[in-house]
Amino acid sequence: MTYNNILFELEGGIARLTLNRPEKLNSFTADMHAEVADAVGRVEKEGARVLVLTGAGRGFCAGQDLSQRVVKEGDPPLDLGMSIEKYYGPLVKRLRALPMPVVVGVNGVAAGAGANLALAGDIVIAKASASFIEPFCRLGLLPDTGGTYALPRLVGSARAMGLAMLGDKLSAEKAAQWGLIWECVPDDQFDARLQELAAHFSTAPTKGLAATKLALNQSLDNTLEQQLDLERDLIRELGTTEDYQEGVQAFLAKRAPVFKGR
């Protein structure tokens, strides 16, 4: 597929997917959804060990391009649920299911579906000048793209309600303080920090990280007994991997491990 709305590259185990409609704050269109879906499909197939997702220009993503949702007089109302079912829902589920870390670099405003797309990542960092906005209440809607799932789990019920029902802008600094994201980074250090994380995960024990991601995600709905059983099963599987053997040998030899993601 030819990409006109995103940038994609994969080198050294690092897949980089950049939303690339800067003149529209990287808001989504149907074509952009198709390109992102294609690129995410390539990530696992082509040997990536980490996916880095960010945006071009001054924004991360402003959500849906509302110019595509203009209804002319006399036309039937749009089925907004269709876009969740066809595009946003599958994208969030695919990112959460990827067997590797998904690092999100929020380089500017993340609004609406764009904010909640960022929260689908595993490690989320943001420029100090970036912000998060849940503006759905101003349109008579509710947070989608997994927003009503992620917000209360990340920041608690009271703050989730405030963000969702007031639609106020949340600074990156406060987002980090609240636990919405991992880290707020000075603007001039953002690119270097994003590269540092990408390089780290590209040489890390990928299968172990994938299992960690799976276990943490499933813990949200599991009982303690179910979670202990899951940990047992995953540890049993990881104990047969090359990376585990390398980690043990490196520890005993007091040297740095060389993980291959196997």
Q: Domain residues for 243?
A: 206-253
Give the list of residues 6+ apart from residue 69 with CB closer than 8 angstroms, or none: 78, 80
In the predicted model, is pLDDT for residue 71 greater than 70?
no
Residues 240 and 122 in one domain: no
Is the residue at 261 inside a domain?
no
Please tell me the total count of domains within the chain: 2
Strand order through the sheet with 123-127: 6-11, 14-19, 50-55, 102-106, 123-127, 183-185
Residues 60 and 152 in one domain: yes
Is the residue at 213 inside a domain?
yes
pLDDT digits (tens, 9 = 90+) for 88-132: 999 999 999 999 999 999 999 999 999 999 999 999 999 999 999
Question: What mean pLDDT comes out for the span 223-231?
Answer: 97
In the predicted model, is pLDDT for residue 68 greater than 90?
no
Residues 82 and 176 in one domain: yes
How much is the pTM?
Answer: 0.93
* Residue among 159, 172, 64, 41 nearest 113 (CA): 64
Residues 180 and 211 in one domain: no
